[in-house]
Amino acid sequence: MDRMADRNAASPSHGRLYPPIEPFDARMIDRGDGHRIYVEQCGNPQGRPVMVLHGGPGGGCSPMMRRFFDPGHWRIVLFDQRGCGRSQPHASVMANTTGHLLSDIDAIRAELRLPPAVLFGGSWGATLALAYAEARPDAVSALVLRGVFLGQQSELDWFYGGGAGRFWPELWQRFRDVIPEPERGDLVAAYHRRLFSGDPAIETRYAMPWLAWENALAGLDNGSPGHAPPAYARAFARLENHYFVHACFLDEGQLLRDRRRIEHLPAVIVQGRYDMVCPPLSAWTLAQGWARAELRMIPASGHALTEPRIAAELVRVMQAMAGLD
């Protein structure tokens, strides 16, 4: 669950984003099962590694995501998850599950010979960061999470069952009413039938309102669906819907159940107080009883990585980890 992130939000000295940088390495990793994963590295090749896990599922990485980190200190690793961004095949859900994504992270770490890394993820990226850390705690040095999504049914019910629609009824109506009334009892399933119809035109037609509903609610006081290329919308909607139909390929409550495996790790959780996509309850619940986790509730902020206060706080978190504060 995450919108496209491509506008400047936050100076290295005052919580603003670092200047744009280009990768010193970019490659495709062939996974041997029909998927090729795009991976790039930025910053200091000898620096402390940080892996950026994008949202969605299906959001892909953007150049803006490189800019939260001091490039003189961090070895910044970004990759597009299966089926999205520059990874191939585009919009594919073949061999695309949470387990496959965890295996891809293993493959990236092995190819790049990464020591234990900081995982930096928001929304679905936070879900994936938690899942990976709980599965491979020795491969992780710390977690920085934003807009926490735990992959639980109650979270999906909030966003796709009308909860968020109580705050944005006019936007909810646009999202809901493209589906015939008899099918509105399960909008995720109804959209699934159309996003996987086999006709790219139909899939794109229904991908646009799926993406628009999320984008419109991602920023505080936003209410605008924004604009996205049709190919991006189709990949985003298909992948996100595929994961949500399958309960994110996680057991219900799994990430909270297995938190004990990572409680020795330091974590900072940055959460928008008025996040309509991933309400603060999930972040608060995750932090309860985790002595090494610090929950930072950000006032007057929503969900998006581009929210000014959230972006500034994430820069400050990474500066502190780098010993720059």
Report d(CA 1, CA 277) in Å as an integer.
7
Q: How far is CA 7 from the centre of its chain?
A: 16
CA nearest neighbour of 228 among 2, 41, 4 = 4
Please report, to the nearest 10 degrees, the dihedral formed by the alpha carbons of residues 89, 92, 94, 99 taken in order: 90
> β-strand 25-30 against 36-43: which pairing, if any?
antiparallel
> β-strand 74-79 against 48-53: which pairing, if any?
parallel
> Which residues are part of the catalytic machinery?
123, 275, 303
Contacts of 2 (CB under 8 A, 6+ apart): 54, 55, 56, 59, 122, 123, 124, 125, 147, 214, 218, 277, 303, 304, 305
